[in-house]
Amino acid sequence: MSKKTRHEPHEEHADESWLLPYADLLTLLLALFLVLYAMSATDARKFQEMSEAFSVALTGGTGVLDYSKTEPSDDPPNIKDHKATSPAVPATTPDQRRAELMRQEQQDLEKLKKQLDNYIKNNGLTSELSTKLNHSQLVITIRDNALFPSGEAVVKPEARKLAKAISQMLHKFPDYEIIVSGHTDNVPISNSRYPSNWDLSSDRALQFMKILLANSELDPKRFMPIGYGEYHPIADNNTAAGRAKNRRVEVSIIRKYQDSATFTSVNE
């Protein structure tokens, strides 16, 4: 009997056993790379194309990282939903914004003027009170005889009702600075209390302002009293009627946005 020849395994066959785990390792590393790329990529379409290319190269078909054919969105869902439900806000320039604020201010002051005019008419005060709206302010003019005895700055008891009514209307418009100014005629005054018309007009402005601020809803920081004496007349001091008009207290609601070219004065 002849002996069977014993064949030694080829060396190359013995050394190929490492290829399988090595290929698995490469596959895992490639998959890890794809996952990391997917987390950081900004272009989902390019990632999908690359993923399909690698899957075809490795397995001959689409792999587990298959993406839906639906067109991807760059927006997170919550942001997309927010965009859909938020109302459109038109872009405005600073000039447009200022024009809108001026329009709103004009409406506010016209509304306040109408309330004051209705109060004056309903209470029969047209000979003692008047209002005027111009490009810089809304002015409430009150004759001195409606507020004070001659040559004094003590507010008459009946004038407190008027001051209260004005204060109740003013507190509905809290965004405006208010100047309370006192005015006299040009007849000199000299007594132990008031050595000049400056002193009398200043004290009258202060005393009437204090009556207004008895309304706790008004902010004192918005108010300022000023005495002009005889130096801001609105009528002729050479006549008794003119001097009577010049003796007055004015409550001025100052515009925040002043532009004489934008609005026409509303005066009655």
Longest dimension (CA), the chain: 161
Query: Could you list the residue range(s) of the whole structural domain that residue 27 is in?
Result: 19-69
**Are residues 54 and 114 both part of a single domain?**
no
Q: Residue 112 belongs to a domain with what CATH number?
A: 3.30.1330.60
Q: Token digits for 112?
A: 């306040």
**Are residues 110 and 63 both part of a single domain?**
no
Domain assignment of residue 79, yes or no: no
Contact 252, 181 (CB under 8 A): yes
pLDDT score of 259 = 65
Q: CA-to-CA distance for 147 and 248, rounded, in angstroms?
A: 9
Contact 105, 256 (CB under 8 A): yes
Q: Which contacts qualify for 238-243: CB closer than 8 Å, 24 or more apart?
A: 242/185, 243/185, 243/186, 243/187
| pLDDT at residue 262 is higher than 70 | no
pLDDT score of 116 = 96
Residue identified by tokens 């709103």 is 104
Contact 184, 245 (CB under 8 A): no
| pLDDT at residue 192 is higher than 60 | yes
Count of domains forming the chain: 2
pLDDT score of 113 = 97
> How many beta carbons lie within 10 A of that of residue 75, not counting itself?
10
Mind listing the pLDDT tens digit for each residue in 202-227? 999 999 999 999 999 999 999 999 99
Question: In 3D, which of 204, 227, 226, 224 has the Cα closest to residue 213?
Answer: 224
Q: CA-to-CA distance for 130 and 143, rounded, in angstroms?
A: 9
Mind listing the pLDDT tens digit for each residue in 85-113? 444 545 689 989 999 999 999 999 999 99
The dihedral over CA atoms of 5, 11, 13, 18, expressed in degrees to the nearest 10, equals 150
Q: Are strands 266-267 and 129-133 parallel, antiparallel or unpaired?
A: antiparallel
Query: What is the chain's length?
Result: 268
Domain assignment of residue 190, yes or no: yes
Indicate the pTM of the whole model.
0.63
Domain assignment of residue 153, yes or no: yes
**Are residues 220 and 117 both part of a single domain?**
yes
**Are residues 57 and 116 both part of a single domain?**
no
Contact 63, 51 (CB under 8 A): yes
**Are residues 65 and 105 both part of a single domain?**
no
Q: What percent of the chain has pLDDT over 90?
A: 59
**What are the start-end ranges of the E strands in 40-198?**
129-133, 137-143, 178-183
| pLDDT at residue 13 is higher than 60 | no
Which of 25-39, 144-158, 182-196 is the least confident region? Answer: 25-39
| CA angle, 45 then 47 then 48, to 5° | 65
Q: CA-to-CA distance for 128 and 142, rounded, in angstroms?
A: 6
